[in-house]
């Protein structure tokens, strides 16, 4: 999907017109069919004007205001840098994959374990780890309190080193965020609504990755840490409670945040997650129908927009050459634009080839077939901040014919950042994923059904 910059022009105070893109790589062509004289006005366009409209069989709401809702969780994948430069909201979960080391590199685990087991040793390694976390998230040092644990096997930790005020701070809820990392083995952070054991969101915690979760998210979700089996060498866990300087606003809820437990329990095999959020920069070798996979900068650096402008230029060249079904169409009741035949773009085919190769798409060898339905391809263009996509299921969730040949959705976002939002069909919980330029996302069959 393509997102144009968010500048918006207003006319008569009611109808938002496409934004202005002054980049020299952008062709200034008035080719939006929604702006043509006599063009039909879709329900999404009416909803944007404040006119009440009904939804549909596969649409929760066609009113864009329905998406202006604070989520229960917003999962942000940070780009590689020395300091996290984005804002942090109380409902956010920030994930920095491979922050300390890759998942297969155990050097940090070995160093921390030696330091913990030798009581007379200086705590230089753990202090460096904590200092790096504080620097990255700009945590106020005076507000920080930490706990370092070693788990030889699942259950209660075999060794614990924590600040004197850690338990009191976690018990009182007087912190704005919790940063956590694991080294050695991996575990899973399970987020559950209080009283609901069946539905949970799973966050894999992998060796070397860094996470930060805001207090409002912790207030909404009860936390449990689990694993499917014992580790070969054990696991070292670090938890820091504190206050990030980048926090955009304070938590307003009166409910205190739930604690992050120190123990790591055996996972209950009877319950699958409604969603498993996997943020990674590495190749993914195993996939699940429960997975949502986010891969930042899969197609280049987040600040390099060449691919965005190339895709637009090549599709428009196909339109100018009269190639069949390349014209922009108003889609989803006027919510955004779509071209049915993006294969005229060489850049699009390169993107498609890489996706099919990376995920070993079973029918990917048919991707250049004359029928675009072979892979259910979509090329959406969101011209500015007024374009959007209503909550919906992809067709394989309810169409048996499509379900026979589609069991996942893979997409890439180019251009301005835009949030991919999921709404749980049973609980109405909202989980948002900001999509930066070049970011890839994947979700499995059952995620498409449950959300």
Strands 159-162 and 145-151: antiparallel
Asked if the model's pLDDT at residue 337 lies above 90, the reply is yes
**pLDDT digits over 100-118, tens only?**
999 999 999 999 999 988 8
Strand ranges (E), 122-220: 145-151, 159-162, 177-184, 187-192, 200-205, 210-214
Mean pLDDT for the chain overall: 90
Asked if the model's pLDDT at residue 236 lies above 90, the reply is yes
Tell me the whole-structure pTM to 2 decimals.
0.90
Asked if the model's pLDDT at residue 12 lies above 50, the reply is no
Q: What are phi and psi of 31, to 5 degrees?
A: -120, 20
Percent of the chain with pLDDT over 70: 91
Of 371 and 415, the one with more pLDDT:
415
Mean pLDDT of 286-294: 96
Give me the pLDDT at residue 255, please. 84
Mean pLDDT of 32-37: 94
Strands 2-3 and 380-382: parallel
Q: What are phi and psi of 12, to 5 degrees?
A: 60, 15
Asked if the model's pLDDT at residue 377 lies above 90, the reply is no
Asked if the model's pLDDT at residue 366 lies above 70, the reply is no
Confidence label for 369 from pLDDT (cuts 50, 70 and 90): low
Give me the pLDDT at residue 4, please. 60
CA-to-CA distance for 397 and 407, rounded, in angstroms?
9
Mean pLDDT of 263-274: 91
Indicate the domain borders of the chain.
73-266
| Cβ(136)–Cβ(129) below 8 Å | no
Q: Would residue 208 be called left, alpha or beta, if left means φ above 0 and alpha means ψ between -120 and 50 degrees?
A: left
Which of helix, strand or coil describes residue 108? helix
Classify 73-266 by CATH class: mainly beta
Q: What is the 3-state secondary structure (H, E, C) of 30-79?
A: CCCHHHCCCCCCCHHHHHHCCCCCCCECCECCCCHHHHCCCCCEEEEECC
């Amino acid at each position: 999907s393509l997102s144009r910059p968010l500048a918006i022009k207003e006319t008569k105070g009611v109808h938002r017109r496409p934004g202005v893109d002054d980049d020299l790589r952008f062709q200034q062509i008035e080719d939006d069919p929604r702006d043509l004289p006599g063009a039909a006005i879709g329900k999404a366009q009416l909803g944007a004007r404040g006119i009440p409209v009904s939804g549909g069989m596969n649409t929760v709401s066609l009113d864009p205001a329905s998406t202006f809702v604070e989520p229960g969780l917003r999962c942000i994948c940070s780009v590689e840098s020395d300091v996290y430069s984005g804002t942090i909201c109380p409902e956010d979960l920030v994930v920095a994959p491979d922050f300390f080391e890759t998942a297969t590199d155990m050097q940090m685990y070995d160093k921390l374990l030696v330091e913990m087991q030798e009581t007379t040793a200086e705590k230089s390694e753990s202090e460096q780890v904590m200092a790096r976390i504080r620097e990255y998230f700009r945590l106020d040092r005076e507000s920080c309190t930490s706990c370092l644990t070693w788990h030889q096997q699942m259950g209660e930790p075999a060794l614990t080193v924590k600040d004197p005020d850690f338990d009191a701070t976690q018990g009182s809820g007087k912190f704005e965020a919790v940063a956590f990392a694991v080294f050695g083995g991996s575990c899973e952070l399970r987020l559950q609504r209080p009283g609901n054991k069946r539905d949970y969101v799973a966050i894999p915690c992998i060796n070397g990755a860094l996470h930060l979760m805001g207090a409002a998210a912790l207030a909404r979700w009860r936390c449990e840490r689990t694993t499917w089996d014992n580790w070969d060498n054990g696991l070292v866990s670090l938890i820091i409670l504190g206050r990030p300087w980048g926090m955009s606003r304070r938590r307003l809820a009166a409910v205190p945040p739930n604690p992050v437990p120190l123990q790591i329990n055996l996972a209950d095999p009877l319950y699958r997650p409604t969603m498993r959020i996997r943020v990674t920069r590495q190749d993914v070798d195993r996939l699940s129908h429960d997975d949502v996979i986010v891969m930042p900068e899969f197609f280049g650096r987040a600040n390099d927009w060449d691919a965005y402008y190339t895709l637009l230029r090549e599709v428009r060249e196909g339109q100018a050459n009269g190639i069949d079904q390349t014209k922009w169409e108003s889609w989803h009741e006027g919510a955004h634009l779509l071209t049915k035949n993006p294969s005229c773009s060489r850049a699009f085919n390169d993107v498609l080839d890489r996706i099919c190769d990376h995920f070993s798409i079973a029918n990917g060898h048919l991707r250049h077939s004359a029928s675009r339905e072979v892979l259910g391809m979509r090329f959406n263009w969101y011209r500015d901040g007024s374009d959007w996509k209503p909550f919906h299921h992809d067709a394989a969730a309810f169409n048996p014919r499509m379900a026979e040949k589609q069991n996942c959705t893979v997409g890439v976002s180019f251009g301005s950042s835009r949030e991919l939002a999921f709404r749980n069909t049973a609980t109405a919980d909202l989980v948002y994923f900001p999509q930066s330029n070049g970011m890839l996302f994947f979700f499995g069959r059952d995620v498409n059904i449950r959300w």
